[in-house]
Amino acid sequence: MKADAFRELSDSELSRKKEELKDEIFNLRIQIATHQTTNVARVRKLKKDLARVLTILRERELGIRRR
């Protein structure tokens, strides 16, 4: 997802999305470790999305507005 799409979400929706991403990363890492999936590139994408969500939450906490 793009950062603009995340910025349109409310704080509670972002917090929920953060938890979903953490759970999905955890589950995918287990699948990779047990050789149930070979889609290792998805972990990178999910981690970037998680970083975007955390950045937006922090910006809102500090009162920083981004365009």
pLDDT at 54: 96
pLDDT at 67: 61
CATH class of 3-62: mainly alpha
* pTM (2 d.p.): 0.88
pLDDT 10s digits, 26-44: 999 999 999 998 899 999 9
The residues spanned by each domain of the chain are 3-62
What is the average pLDDT value for the chain, to the nearest integer?
Answer: 93
User: For residue 1, is pLDDT > 70?
Assistant: yes
Confidence of residue 65 (pLDDT cuts 50, 70, 90): confident
Q: What is the largest CA-CA distance in the chain?
A: 44
Cβ within 8 Å of residue 47, ≥6 positions away: 25
